Amino acid sequence: MSVSPIDAISLGRMDGPEHAAALNLDQGPSFMQMVGSEVQGLNASLNTADASARSLAAGDGVPVHDVMIAMEQAHLKLQFAVEVRNRMIDAYQSLTNMQL
């Protein structure tokens, strides 16, 4: 019975396209792009709720339930954004408090 030797492990650079596909680096938007698009969506939702409230106050015949739905959607999106921010701050503080 013969034992074959173990091949050496290559510690070369991993910057080719075949390695990028293996690491899933070329897929999906970046974190900052995703956060930016969500903040723009939140801003649009807040602007829509504000515009509908102003239309209701001006007497433009906007149904009250449509205004309330728009305001509640904006409120929920804002609460979600604040909670995400709080979690990100907690994660950052946890990382900065780690001892090396």
Ordered per-residue pLDDT tens for the chain, 100 residues: 677 777 766 555 555 555 555 555 567 888 889 989 999 999 999 999 999 999 999 999 999 999 999 999 999 999 999 999 999 999 999 999 998 7
Q: Which two tokens mark 1?
A: 């019975």
Q: Which two tokens mark 27?
A: 């897929």
Phi and psi at residue 25, in whole multiples of 5°?
-85, -20
64 in a domain, yes or no?
yes
Residue 3: the pLDDT is 76
Q: Identify residue 6 by its one-letter amino acid code.
A: I
Residue 2: the pLDDT is 78
Domain count, the chain: 1
Domain of residue 62 covers 29-96
Q: Which two tokens mark 17?
A: 């396209």
| Under 8 Å between Cβ of 77 and 42 | yes
Q: Which two tokens mark 16?
A: 């080719």
12 in a domain, yes or no?
no
Convert 24-62 to b/e letters by CB count within 10 Å (16 or more is b): eeeeeeeeeeeeeeeeeeeeebbeebeebbeebeeeeeb
Q: What is the pTM of this model?
A: 0.66
16 in a domain, yes or no?
no
72 in a domain, yes or no?
yes
